Amino acid sequence: MAGKGKLVTQTVRLGIKYGPQIWVATQALREPAKEAVNKAVSSERARRLAMGHAATLADGSILKVYKGDAAHWLVFSGDEPVAVHPTTDLPLDTLAARADLTKRIRPDDRISATDRARDAAATALRRGKPNQIN
């Protein structure tokens, strides 16, 4: 255990040298990190709301679409869009116009968060953005 003292000394020296820079970086990155987390949480909340709505419909399903950089979940009854979560000012037909309806999710499908993350990573790789997940 002779190396512990040297390790502590080196850690203290690096902390004194780089501590202020690390503090400034964490302060600068705090707000974007909070925004990213809030965006992910609100998307998940909207997905759960949409899934609950789709479960009450005959042949209900949901589909994730984007308006700008915000994710919205279209709720379908059969092939007809009936609602969107969270609400938006665009008409439902406009949101569903360029969407791939074969990717709809039904309430009976049991898809875990891991499966959704794996699908998002695969989509990012196909688009040529390996370090960026939508």
Kindly report the pTM of this predicted structure. 0.63
CA distance 27 to 19: 12
What mean pLDDT value characterizes the chain?
85
Tens digit of each residue's pLDDT (9 = 90 or more) over 89-116: 888 888 888 888 888 888 887 777 787 7
- For the chain, the domains span 34-107
Whether the pLDDT of residue 36 is over 70: the answer is: yes
The average pLDDT across 26-53 equals 90
Q: For tokens 């919205």, name the residue.
A: 72
The average pLDDT across 17-40 equals 89
CA distance 131 to 112: 22
